[in-house]
Structure 1
Amino acid sequence: MKIRRFYATPLFSALLLAGAVQAQYSVTDEIRVLQGFKAGGGSDTLAQLTQPFLRESLGAEFINEYIPGATGAIAWTRLTQQSAKDGSVVSITNTPMLMTNYIMNDAIRYSIDEMTPIANVVTDPGIIVVPEDSPYQTLQDFLTAAEENPGQLTVANSGVGGDDFFSTIMIENATGLSFQKVPFQGDGPSATAALGGQVDASFNNLGNVFAHIQSGSLRPLAIFTRERLDILPDVPTMVENDIDIVAGSSRGYSAPADIPDEARDELIAAFEALKENQEFQETARERAMVLDIRTGDDYGQMVQEMEGQFEEIWAEVKDDVNQ
């Protein structure tokens, strides 16, 4: 992801001071948003959360284009190599799969150096959910069954290289257990598989399955946070079960490299304004979205650091995964 040192230009400062006053995006009145997963997943959840507020601050419509496949790589290849570099096209960028795609597969040709970081918005913790009629009432029930049936329990994830895929591997490494990993094209289809009883469990993200947890159609067994969350006080963490795993998916927006500074300033200002928007904050809480807004260079630095971390993890596990 191309990081350019960011300074508060007069335009950027003016946009921040304007706050909730509606502006007019200088590039276009329609911004195309490439999504690398099917509708209904974590990327789409982020889009539905942010875009009404971004539309108001930028005065532009957001047109979501769903391009599922290859764990987001098709969309991100299109963003970096086939999209206009004028600020009219952006993409929702999901980590860690944004980087793990090419870390794990030399055939994938894009990289974060070919993107302009705009903003991370949420860091969505991982969670294990099972169907409402599942025999597994607790995490220990689930782990015991996995121990008694090595490689037999089916675990859905959002795709090879995603955070759910990696958290499954980390649990296998930490416990010595093994699961039958079932990849889907996004969190939505993974959750749907659990809802329909097609898999024993889905390793998913809280924001995507929270409504199902509230309705009782999915049962949470454990969450991958350091401490329990206020919105799910009865759901234990992996850490308190002596499995030291904290994981999740961060989701934000990026543009192609070398978009005009003016467009970059305006986009960043729109996301900075979300930090002070009380309606946005409340909407995020209602949807169990854990906000983690980092813009511009800060987002770029975050992604670069994660790239290094997952390069190390993949180097440790790739031989076992590829067997």
Structure 2
Amino acid sequence: MQHIIRSCAAIAAAIMLFFAPPQVANAFPDEGLKLIVAYGAGGGTDVTARLLAKDLEATIGHPVTVENITGGGGWTGWSALANAQPDGYTIGYINVPNIYAGFLNPEMSRSENLSSFTPLMNHVTDYCVWAVSADSPFHSVADVIEAAKAEALSIAAHGFGGDDHLAIMRMERMTDASFNVIHNTSTAISLTQVLGGHVQVLGANVSEVIKLHEAGELRVIGVMAPERSKFLPDVPTFKEQGFDQVWSVSRGIAAPAGLPDDVKQILIKALKETLSSDAHRNAAEQLGLSLDIIEGEEYAKFLADTEGEVKTLMGW
């Protein structure tokens, strides 16, 4: 009798196991995220990323770790992002227009391009500036241009084909000035060169120079924005000084291509919630960062349109 009871119990258990619903996978994310920055510590992208990491952690309830992967004009880090597992646990910053040179330039022969990424959301638009050391003889953009027409001036930029470099090229074409461009892997290096008197002019972004300008260590002579920056209200725009120049870097977040759509939507929702919060906006303003939220398909279109502009400018 007991044998029969045990047999019946075993059969019942087997039937229950057979008809049991499948186990549901843990909801994404159930662990921390890695946030790749393709530039060195201390620059505008790194500062932006560390602010995002701190606030995104509060939104998703898991750590967000910033990893600086430098070199190759940013493409060492972007390649790492493109080749990461497309599971949502590795995301990273892509910098526009800097990212385009690595695959549009035919000399690079790079296999990756925009289709190697899943665009998620633009975060910050940071306008370009020119700055000089406090003891420089240059007090305006016109001062720099006139000197550069007589003899090539040295100017620090952040990577070939990046926003600083493209802005310099446009000014050369507009004015017939000539510059010896010093390309660096981070703005921190460029700042050291200019402050040390080794390079005459700095090409950078608003967020990267505010504190030094306020401290009187660096003199920003022009901002490439449509109107004066609220972070540098005493500095005239290039347009105010007679040069029709508007240029910036946009820092946005992407994941590898092949990201599942449900994971993509979760990330976009978490990012939008984070970037739209009053706490994040206030912290960004303290750092001189201008938030410019563009999400999903609209962000993908922005990236494609800007790629076309860079192709035209660079002749690629």
Matching residue of 2:181:
181
Q: Which amino acid aligns with 2:121?
A: A
Cα distance, 1:28 vs structure 2: 4.1
Specify the alignment match of 2:71 in structure 1: 69
Deviation at 1:245, TM superposition (A): 1.0
Distance 2:232 2:67 in 1: 33
Counterpart-to-counterpart distance in 2, 1:246 and 1:46: 21
Counterpart CA distance in 1 for 2:99 and 2:139 is 34
C-alpha separation between the residues in 2 aligned to 1:185 and 1:198? 16
Distance 1:101 1:249 in 2: 16
| SS at structure 1 position matched to 2:240 | helix
Would you say 1:88 and 2:89 are equivalent positions?
A: yes
Shift of 1:137: 2.1
CA distance 1:276–1:106, shift in 2 (3 Å): closer
Matches within 5 A, 1:214-293: 214-293=214-293
Q: Percent sequence identity over matched residues?
A: 29
Residue 54 of structure 2 aligns with an amino acid whose one-letter code is: P
| TM-score, structure 2 as length reference | 0.88
Match of 1:241, SS state, is coil
CA distance change for structure 1 residues 28 and 212 in 2, over 3 Å: closer, same or farther?
A: farther
Pairs aligned (count): 290
Give the aligned residue type for 1:101. Answer: G
1:106, distance to aligned residue in structure 2 (A): 3.7
The separation in 1 between residues aligned to 2:72 and 2:34, in whole angstroms, is 20
* Aligned position for 2:210: 210
Show the counterpart of 1:6.
Answer: none
Any gaps of 5 or more consecutive residues in structure 1? 1-23, 319-323
Shifted more, 276-285 versus 305-314: the winner is 276-285
| Alpha-carbon distance in structure 2 between the residues aligned to 1:102 and 1:298 | 22
Kindly name which structure, 1 or 2, has the bigger radius of gyration based on alpha carbons: 2
- Show structure 1 runs of 4+ deviating over 6 A: none
Deviation at residue 25 of structure 1 after TM alignment: 6.9
| Per-residue deviation, 1:54 | 0.6
Q: Structure 1 CA distance, aligned partners of 2:150 and 2:194?
A: 21
- What whole-Å deviation, never above 9, does each CA across 1:100-150 have from its counterpart, x for those lacking one? 22112442221111111111100000000111121212222222221222x
Q: Deviations over 1:127-176 (max 9, x none)?
A: 00111121212222222221222x2x110000111100000000000001
- The answer for unaligned runs of 5 or more in structure 2 is 1-25
Aligned CA RMSD, in angstroms, stands at 1.6
2:124 counterpart SS class: strand
Mapped to 2, the partners of 1:183 and 1:230 lie a distance apart of: 28
